[in-house]
Amino acid sequence: HPSNDQMEGGSVLERANCRAKGGAPGFKVAILGAAGGIGQPLAMLMKMNPLVSVLHLYDVVNAPGVTADISHMDTGAVVRGFLGQPQLDAALTGMDLVIIPAGVPRKPGMTRDDLFKINAGIVRTLCEGITRSCPNAIVNLISNPVNSTVPIAAEVFKKAGTYDPKRLLGVTMLDVVRANTFVAEVLGLDPREVSVPVVGGHAGVTILPLLSQVKPPCSFTKEETEYLTKRIQDGGTEVVQAKAGAGSATLSMAYAAVKFADCCLRGLRGDAGIVECAYVASQGQIQGKPQKTEKVRNTLDHSFGWYAHVTELPFFASQVRLGRGGAEEIYQLGPLNEYERGPKQYKILVEQRIYHLINMTQTGLD
Ligand code: NAD
Ligand code: LMR
């Protein structure tokens, strides 16, 4: 019998490469941090995605093991593993989409901000690789604190002259997934029928579910609104506490990451009408328009102040339309109810701004 890698028509690897090169339809996707708690189920689910033709799995540990395991799945994508920084550029070359769950997770008692020092450095190194090897890829950034790792990635891309704000997306899909689940529970509906926009950011009070815009249309009592808002904002902490030192959300996160990545790939393919929430540069920055926030703030009332701040904040989680260029359009927040624009929620903006400034100052990138 011919050995596995010496079968007729070239080695198994050559034929896999040939299949990958030879126009098997689909996109090339890299996962950085693929051997981690999120990375492994994410890699498995992306291997099952028919839109993916090539899947690169990169990590600083155990990438060969995870790759060997995943590569036995009889789905279309060709899987290759890359271990350690010397292989980073090879892992990234030619990629259409790069998903980054690399970094340390929280333990009970920590905030996402406590992860900043370690994860900022990791994200920086990985994004430098992107500037060298796939500067046009869409980037889905999962590593926490998302509110600050996304601005860091932006600075790295700016430095290299490759920054396109439309292609850099912080993944906040888990907030939406949680919101859909918890709201469905309260309404007694199937979560698949429920859609809740979640805006702001991805940490504590910066996570703002817009319960006034839930589909299908519905209403909540004050108690329900307060319960749901708090449960959605504290969803990450709920999992961190339940795991009691063994990390943070990994399985629901992998599910959310794949749901979001699939939307990005369908957007890249040219599908119309794909709208999801993501943490992105604000519209003014995306369109390169000068910002008129001073004027807006002085002339409009408190509720409209929201809109002023959305454009004033450099990054904000909003509903975005995904297309061939990434986040091609950012939607306004839409009509907010009294609770959503009340002083308590207004604090979100202030916190988000302070958070960003502190963290950026620490990196010396800003
Ligand atoms: P984990 O520790 O299980 O896995 C992280 C992986 O990253 C490990 O395999 C590790 O080897 C790898 N890694 C570390 N340094 C690296 C480097 N320089 N290059 C490549 N890989 C490197 O952690 P996890 O539970 O998978 O969480 C990963 C990150 O995702 C954490 O920062 C966590 O807070 C964050 N997270 C974000 C969300 C979100 O909604 N955006 C949700 C859950 C977790
Ligand atoms: C989450 O929301 O589950 C993640 O951001 C992980 C965490 O630390 O809460």
The pLDDT value given to residue 302: 35
**What pLDDT score was predicted for residue 338?**
83
Residue with tokens 């590593």: 143
Whole-angstrom distance, CA of residue 232 vs CA of residue 245: 21
CA-CA-CA-CA torsion sign (135, 26, 64, 146): positive
Q: Could you tell me the two tokens for 305?
A: 């102040």
CA proximity to 147, closest of 233, 207, 209, 208:
207
Q: Which tens digits make up the pLDDT trace of 79-112?
A: 999 999 999 999 999 999 999 999 999 999 998 8
- 233: CA distance to ligand 2 center in Å? 10
In percent, the amount of the chain with pLDDT more than 90 equals: 69
Helix (H) or strand (E) holding 199: strand 198-200
- Exposed / middle / buried, residue 149 (Cβ in 10 Å: 0-12, 13-18, 19+): buried
Cis-peptide into 25, omega within 30 deg? no
**Confidence at residue 343, expressed as pLDDT on a 0 to 100 scale:** 64
As for the ipTM of the complex, it is: 0.99
Structure confidence by residue, pLDDT tens digits, 41-68: 999 999 999 999 999 999 999 999 999 9
What was the pLDDT predicted at 304?
Answer: 37
Across the chain, mean pLDDT equals: 86
* 104 CA to centre of ligand 1 in angstroms: 5
Confidence class for position 361, pLDDT limits 50, 70, 90: low
The stretch 192-204 carries a mean pLDDT of 93
Helix and strand numbers (H, E) in the chain are: 15, 11
CA–CA separation, 327 vs 138, rounded Å?
Answer: 9
Q: Which residue has a Cα nearest atom 1 of ligand 2?
A: 236
Rounded-to-integer distance, Cα 232 and Cα 346, Å: 17
How much is the average pLDDT of 194-212?
Answer: 92
Residue 285 reports pLDDT greater than 80: no
Band of pLDDT at residue 272, cut at 50, 70 and 90: very high
How do residues 310-345 score in pLDDT, each as one tens digit?
Answer: 546 788 899 999 999 999 999 888 888 888 877 666
User: What is residue 315's predicted lDDT score, i.e. its pLDDT?
Assistant: 87
pTM: 0.89
pLDDT at residue 269 tops 90: yes
Interatomic CA distance for residues 143 and 116, integer angstroms: 9
Name the helix (H) or strand (E) containing 312.
helix 302-312
Angle (CA) 29 135 271, round 5°? 55
Compute the residue count for the chain. Answer: 366
CA of 75 to the centre of ligand 2 (A): 30
Q: Residue 32 pLDDT > 80, yes or no?
A: yes
Pocket test residue of 112, 171, 251, 255 for ligand 2, highest count of atoms within 8 A of CB? 112
Cβ within 8 Å of residue 271, ≥6 positions away: none
Judge whether 98 and 32 are in contact, CB under 8 Å.
yes
Residue 6, pLDDT > 50, answer: no
Tell me how far the alpha carbon of residue 299 lies from the centroid of ligand 2, in angstroms: 38
**Is it true that the peptide bond before 145 is cis, omega within 30 degrees of 0?**
yes
Can you say whether residue 94 is alpha, beta or left, with left for phi > 0 and alpha for psi between -120 and 50 degrees? left
- Ligand 1 binding pocket (C-beta < 6 A) is 32-33, 35-39, 59-61, 101-106, 115, 119, 122, 125-126, 142-144, 146, 171, 174, 202, 247-250, 253
52-56, 239-243, 305-309, 340-344: segment of lowest average pLDDT: 305-309
Beta bridge mates, 276: 320
Nearest-CA residue for atom 7 of ligand 1: 102
Q: Is the pLDDT of residue 8 over 60?
A: no
Other Cβ atoms closer than 10 A to 183: 23
Please give the DSSP secondary-structure letter assigned to residue 288: T
- CA separation, residue 261 to residues 37, 43, 286, 357 (Å): 18, 12, 21, 29
DSSP string for residues in 77-110: -EEEEEESGGGHHHHHTT-SEEEE--SPPP-TT-
